[in-house]
C-alpha cells in the first residue's frame, strides 16, 4: 500500500506540468469505485507530457522502454501478485493513449498469467480495446469507463 501511495504522489507531482485534463484523479477514482462495486482497489494515475507532440512520442516509446520505464515498472509491481492473489487496479490519466500504452506494456512484460486481475481502464473507447486484449490475454477481467462515466 505504501508503494501505491508513493507512486500516486509521484504521479501527481509529475502531472503538475501537464496540459488540460479531461478528468481529475478524483473523478477517475469515483468511476473506478462504481466499476468495482465499492470494493477496495488501487488507482494508478498516469501523467502526460507537456504538449501533444511530446505526448505522442512518449506514448509511442513507452512500449519499447518496457520495465525500464518507472511507470511501467510500477504498474507491473502492482499487477504481478494477480497470479495468486486478487488484485483490483484502475488505470487512468491525463492522456488516454499514454495511460493505455503504459498498462499494455506492463501486461506484456509480465511472464505469468494473471487470472485474479481485475483491471479497470478509465479512458477513451478507442484506447480501451487494446487494453482489453492485453488484460484478457493474461486471463484477467477487464472493466472500462470513459472519463465522462459512460
- In tens, the pLDDT along 84-123 reads 999 999 999 988 888 998 999 999 999 999 999 999 999 9
Once rounded to an integer, what is the mean pLDDT over residues 53-58? 50
Cell 511472464 belongs to 111
Residue 62 located in a structural domain = yes
83 is a domain residue = yes
If one counts the domains in the chain, the total is 1
The per-residue pLDDT for 150 is 63
Model pLDDT, residue 47: 82
Q: Is the pTM of this model over 0.75?
A: yes
Whether 150 is in a domain gets the answer no
Let me know if residue 12 belongs to a domain. Answer: yes
**Confidence check: pLDDT of 3 > 80:** no
Q: Report the pLDDT value the prediction gives residue 58, as an integer from 0 to 100.
A: 52
| pLDDT(61) > 70 | no
Is 88 contained in some domain? yes
Domain containing residue 18? 2-145
Task: Return the pLDDT at 36.
Answer: 97
> Is residue 94 in a domain?
yes
**pLDDT the model gives residue 22:** 63
Residue 92, judged by CB atoms within 10 A of its CB (0-12, 13-18, 19+), counts as buried
What are the pLDDT digits (tens) for 115-147? Answer: 999 999 999 999 999 999 999 999 999 999 998
H helical segments located in 20-124 = 25-35, 52-65, 70-79, 96-108
- pLDDT, one tens digit per residue, over 41-53 is 999 998 875 555 4
Asked whether residue 60 is domain-assigned, the answer is yes
Sign (positive/negative) of CA torsion 39, 125, 104, 53?
negative
Mean pLDDT of 72-95: 95
Amino acid at each position: 500500500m505504501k508503494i501505491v501511495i508513493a507512486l500516486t504522489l509521484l504521479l501527481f507531482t509529475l502531472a503538475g506540468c501537464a496540459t488540460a485534463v479531461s478528468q481529475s484523479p478524483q473523478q477517475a477514482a469515483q468511476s473506478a469505485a462504481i466499476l468495482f462495486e465499492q470494493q477496495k482497489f488501487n488507482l494508478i494515475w498516469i501523467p502526460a507530457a507537456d504538449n501533444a507532440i511530446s505526448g505522442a512520442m512518449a506514448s509511442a516509446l513507452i512500449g519499447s522502454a518496457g520495465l525500464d520505464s518507472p511507470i511501467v515498472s510500477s504498474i507491473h509491481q502492482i499487477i504481478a501478485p494477480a497470479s495468486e492473489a486478487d488484485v483490483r487496479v484502475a488505470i487512468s490519466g491525463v492522456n488516454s493513449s499514454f495511460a493505455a500504452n503504459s498498462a499494455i506494456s506492463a501486461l506484456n512484460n509480465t511472464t505469468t498469467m494473471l487470472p485474479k486481475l481485475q483491471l479497470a481502464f478509465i479512458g477513451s473507447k478507442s484506447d480501451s480495446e487494446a487494453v482489453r486484449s492485453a488484460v484478457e490475454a493474461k486471463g484477467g477481467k477487464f472493466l472500462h469507463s470513459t472519463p465522462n462515466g459512460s
